[in-house]
Amino acid sequence: MTTETAPTGTGSAAQPAQTHELTLMGALRANMRDYGLLLALILIMLFFQYFTNGVLFKPVNLTNIILQNSYIIVMALGMLLVIVAGHIDLSVGSVSGFIGALAAMLMVGWNFPPELAFLAHPLVAGAICLLAGAAIGAAQGYIIAYHRVPAFIVTLAGMLIFKGLSLAILSGKSVGPFPPEFQMLSAGFIPDIVGPITMPWLAENGQNVVLHSTTMVIAILAIVGMVFFSIRGRGRRLARGYDVEPFSLFVIKNVVIAALVLFFAYMLASYRGLPNVLVVMGVLIAFFVFMTKRLTFGRRIYALGGNLKAAALSGIKTERTTFYIFAIMGALAALAGMIYAARLNSATPKAGQGLELDVIAAVFIGGASALGGVGQVAGAVIGAFIMGVMNNGMSIMGVNIDWQQMIKGVVLLAAVFFDLYNKNRSA
């Protein structure tokens, strides 16, 4: 969420390119989509906080929002790569449901002989499921990349195939419960290594507030890291001759984000601390940000979506890159399927149905272009949280499911129109 435009001067080896800060309005226009997303999330949360009589911001409900949307965010990271590359994947919901069913059968459903009993161990079964998901994605990616079959057709077929396979291996019934070690993936919380902090001056209803101090320490370290990398990134852009946002806006942006992180960390720390799945999400988000912004592979993905022919002429192995993108998507769908199954503590034949629509909607709401070449990890994550907060808030308010679906459709359509409006203005 930073402004970076071409250097204003040609510069030379002896004379560095001149730089200047954009005006406040110029920076806001250049980053309207990014700032608008964050503002929309804040306004939506405040709206539901008011109309749910304060239920939304309760620590237990914030924890539930994270647990309920963790698998959507995990799949949105992979879907972002797919959409940025100019493709679509309609199979992710069915693949996640199939992998959840496979995990259940490995750990609970199938009776292995003693010499193969290790396959039922949660770690071994989890590794098998991740490999299976990556293999499924790779198979679809191979057909799309090397045989030029449209992704829409291949993944639509995959959706039907793996929906049927889920029914087949589960024999149409639910299988569970999972071992406690596997349930910790979605239901567990990090231990408090530092020790709890009692805050009597924040007593509520006669009870002292006890904070999960390890959660607060992690949040503070995350804020320090975020500020450090933001300052370093701004310095590098200035050194290279790029226009940057005004320093005042830079400070306000970082202060707002830091305050939000600290607030949510405090709310989680006053309940049970950081969920294990949030730590997994955090690691994945950091890796995908690094990959899309720093690694050559990430830049190649944007090149594919921007102009496939130009990318191929520039020497990019477009088929190989597409193959890898779908393999990554398959592995993330597998991880999401295990998270979903662990949260339900069982695998059901209907698991994963319709999840692909929420995942795709989250990515588009987050600013990705349907034409490819445009999209950010932060936008996809914020888009997923917007969908999650809306689902949670409307459920608390008692809004019927039919109205919920219509409202989400309107929000998705509005996000696409807003994106087209911004492009037409900048054209």
Mean pLDDT on 78-91: 95
CB 333 within 8 A of CB 75: yes
Residue that has been written with the tokens 């954009």 in this structure = 22
Q: Distance between CA atoms of 105 and 125, rounded to whole angstroms?
A: 9
Q: How far is CA 105 from the centre of its chain?
A: 28
Q: Distance between CA atoms of 423 and 427, rounded to whole angstroms?
A: 6
Is pLDDT above 70 for 205? no
Res 15: pLDDT:
45
Residue type, 301: I
- Reply yes or no: is the peptide bond before residue 177 cis, omega within 30 of 0: yes
The structure's pTM equals 0.88
Q: Distance between CA atoms of 408 and 97, rounded to whole angstroms?
A: 23
Q: How confident is the model at residue 101 (pLDDT cuts 50, 70, 90)?
A: very high
- Which one has a higher pLDDT value, 256 or 129? 129
Q: Mutual orientation of helices 318-344 and 276-294 as an angle, nearest 10°? A: 170
Residue 275 forms beta bridges with which residues? 189
Q: Distance between CA atoms of 217 and 223, rounded to whole angstroms?
A: 10
Mean pLDDT on 247-258: 87
Residue type, 309: K
Q: Distance between CA atoms of 35 and 30, rounded to whole angstroms?
A: 10
Backbone angles phi, psi at 316, to 5 degrees: -75, 130
- H helices present in 366-400, as ranges: 377-397
Sequence spans of domains, the chain: 24-188+275-426, 189-274
pLDDT in tens, 322-379: 999 999 999 999 999 999 999 999 999 888 888 898 999 999 988 888 888 888 998 9
Which residues neighbour 335 within 8 Å (Cβ) at sequence distance 6 or greater? 74, 130, 133, 280
Q: Distance between CA atoms of 379 and 409, rounded to whole angstroms?
A: 18
**Judging by beta carbons within 10 Å of its beta carbon (0-12, 13-18, 19+), is residue 59 exposed, middle or buried?**
middle
Residue that has been written with the tokens 């393999």 in this structure = 327
The SS3 assignment for 397 reads helix
Is pLDDT above 50 for 106? yes
Is pLDDT above 80 for 124? yes
Q: How confident is the model at residue 204 (pLDDT cuts 50, 70, 90)?
A: low
Res 200: pLDDT:
59
Nearest Cα residue to 325 out of 141, 159, 162? 141
Backbone angles phi, psi at 237, to 5 degrees: -65, -40
Options 1.10.3470, 1.20.120, 1.25.40, 3.40.1360; which CATH number does 24-188+275-426 get? 1.10.3470
Q: What is the Rg, in whole angstroms, of the alpha carbon atoms belonging to the chain?
A: 23
Helix (H) or strand (E) holding 200: strand 197-204
Residue type, 394: M
Lowest-confidence region among 140-154, 167-181, 193-207: 193-207
Res 7: pLDDT:
43
Q: Distance between CA atoms of 2 and 31, rounded to whole angstroms?
A: 7
Mean pLDDT on 92-103: 95
Nearest Cα residue to 125 out of 141, 108, 138, 143? 108
> Do you know the residue count of the chain?
427
The sign of the CA dihedral 18, 23, 29, 35 is: positive
Which residues neighbour 332 within 8 Å (Cβ) at sequence distance 6 or greater? 74, 75, 77, 78, 133, 284
Is pLDDT above 50 for 8? no
Which residues neighbour 290 within 8 Å (Cβ) at sequence distance 6 or greater? none
DSSP 8-state assignment for residue 345: T
Mean pLDDT on 398-422: 80
Query: Within a 10 A sphere around the Cβ of 159, how many other Cβ atoms?
Result: 20
Summary count for the chain: helices (H), strands (E)? 16, 2
Query: Within a 10 A sphere around the Cβ of 371, how many other Cβ atoms?
Result: 11
Tell me the pLDDT of the chain averaged across its residues: 86
The sign of the CA dihedral 221, 224, 228, 231 is: positive
